[in-house]
Amino acid sequence: MALDKATVARIATLARIKVPESELEQLAGELSHILTWIEQLGEVDTDGVEPMASVAEMTLPMRADRVSDGGGRDKILANAPQQAHGFFLVPKVVE
């Protein structure tokens, strides 16, 4: 698919990109080359190929789905500079 200067200028306007007139011809060639490459990808026979999320065959580890309270409040609060009644104390930022 070949793009002309007018089409590239229109695309640049829609993308809110300022492209100088002197660069439109070169950009049209580059975009045409990219679109030709994309058209070539459409010619690849993908029948019988399952979609995949990764090129490596793997199964993600699963953990038990159970509800808990976290069980680490005391350990977490041990790192706090200030605490009171089981909560972090922070400086007041709104008056």
In a domain, 70, yes or no: no
Count of domains for the chain: 1
Reported as a single tens digit per residue, the pLDDT across 29-80 is: 999 999 999 999 889 998 988 888 888 888 888 988 888 877 788 888 988 9
| Token couple for 42 | 């459409």
Alpha helices in the chain (DSSP H): 5-14, 24-42, 73-77
In a domain, 59, yes or no: no
Reported as a single tens digit per residue, the pLDDT across 74-86 is: 888 988 999 999 8
In a domain, 11, yes or no: yes
Lowest mean pLDDT, pick from 13-17, 24-28, 48-52 = 48-52
In a domain, 26, yes or no: yes
In a domain, 67, yes or no: no
User: CA–CA separation, 22 vs 74, rounded Å?
Assistant: 66
Could you tell me the residue range of the domain that residue 33 belongs to? 5-42
In a domain, 65, yes or no: no
Strand duo 87-88 + 83-84: pairing: antiparallel
In a domain, 87, yes or no: no
Q: Which residues lie closer than 8 Å to 7 by C-beta, 6 or more apart?
A: 28
pTM above 0.75, yes or no: no
Mean pLDDT of 14-39: 94
| Residue in the structure block whose two tokens are 């706090």 | 80
